[in-house]
Amino acid sequence: MTQTQARVDTVIFGGGIAGLWLLNRLVAEGRNAVLFEQDALGSSQTIASQGMIHGGIKYALGGALTGESEAIAAMPGHWARCLEGKGDVDISACNVLSHHFYLWSTRSITSKLTSFFASKMLRGRVNSVKAADRPPAFDSPQFRGSLYRLADLVLDVPSLLDTLAAPHRDRIFRIDWQTAALLRKDRRIIALRFADGLMLEADHFVFAAGAGNEALLNAVNLEQPAMQRRPLQQVLVKHDFPSPLYAHCMGNNPSPRLTISSHRCNDGRHCWYLGGDLATEGVNMDSGELIERAQKELAELFPWINFGTTQWATLKVDRAEPRQTQLVKPDKAYAERPKDCDNLLVCWPTKLTLTPDMANQASTLLGSTPPNGATGAIPEALGRLPRPPIATPCWETLF
């Protein structure tokens, strides 16, 4: 077999939000970077996201702004600049589902929530909603709780994936790990080898494949950084109520009792995608049991809404993250070099919102841009590899 050698500056593995954002960032900085994805772009964790770009208020309800909420307080502004085409990554073509998110309480905890949101800690990040300005889902005299509007964005995740992939489709390839392998020697990854004899070398390799990072680390005999999985089981309900809703319902826990995002399906009907405590506490329920619980929640919280004909489904999702003590939720994005491999970065954004922060960390660790940068040609030999499609969202595949 004839061996062909090719070289780029940076090879990224993983075509979800982390890898695609980082590809855009590095090429803009002048790096000759390419990306490999084994399935569809955004498959698994990214496409299962509700698309919320939040500033941490939903994590601050324990009575103080935590380290986690402070770490992401600037993120909506960062994403807003990118949506205007003025940030580090241009996503101005992305479809924005909503420029704000609602947060509401049932009557039983209204006074507690009102007192908290009136405190000086929130620095104008939350506004009370008057009855005349309520969205259709709360436009009923039966609604007796408190309603607030948060300065949080909601993005159409398939559109976001397409927006990030579009400028660099010539740099994105599908990889079959049955016929490709990473080669490591001493403290460096030396090449990505393909079955046809192509050896792709790079100065830097980046693992940004979410849950796939675990297998990638095993492939190059690295035990650290260790990964954790925090599972969810989301509920989807397809219905005839015509108005979208993007909202958190607060109960007695610091985390939202229920989180709702809305998505218009290809057949014209709407789907509410349900998360929050419903999804975390229901992770070990069978699908029917969790759907029954979700039906009771919506009946209790929205007794005035006629949902018409409904269809129900559940989706299990693993949130892949760097391992924490007692498997708690990380409070920041992660990008680090393993101590035993000098030219590898391992990245997890830990949540969609923090992706730009992860890219900032990765860019700093990669250091100065090589002189030839992105002007270096994409190796011609890569052109024969297949290209991955954009993943299909769950509200199209489950019904």
What's residue 68's pLDDT? Answer: 52
Alpha carbons 319 and 329: distance in angstroms, whole number: 10
Dist. CA 302–CA 319, nearest whole Å = 29
Residue 56's pLDDT is 63
Q: Are 31 and 10 in contact (CB under 8 A)?
A: yes
Distance of alpha carbon 19 from alpha carbon 17, whole angstroms: 6
Q: What is the pLDDT of residue 58?
A: 54
Peptide bond between residue 225 and the one before it cis (omega within 30 degrees of 0): yes
Which amino acid is located at 47 in the chain? I
pLDDT of residue 65: 47
Q: How is residue 148 written in tokens?
A: 């607030």
What are the distances in angstroms from CA 169 to CA 39, 172, 266, 388, 389?
A: 15, 5, 25, 9, 10
Model pLDDT for residues 293-325, shown as the tens digit of each residue: 999 999 999 999 999 999 999 999 999 999 987
Could you tell me the two tokens for 246?
């993007």
Per the DSSP assignment, residues forming a β-bridge with 154 are 52, 98
**Amino acid symbol at 216:** L
Strands 247-250 and 101-105: parallel
Give me the amino acid identity at 169. R
Nearest partner of 153 among 200, 96, 103, judged by Cα = 96
C-alpha 79 chain-centroid distance: 13
Contact call for residues 217 and 184 (beta carbons, < 8 A): no
Task: Determine contact, residues 63/116, Cβ cutoff 8 Å.
Answer: yes
Q: What percent of the chain has pLDDT over 90?
A: 75
> Mean pLDDT in runs of 10 for the chain (399 residues)?
84 98 96 97 95 71 50 83 96 96 74 48 68 94 90 94 98 97 96 93 97 96 94 97 94 86 95 96 97 97 96 96 76 91 96 94 89 70 94 96
What is the reported pLDDT for 194?
A: 95
- Residue 121's pLDDT is 41
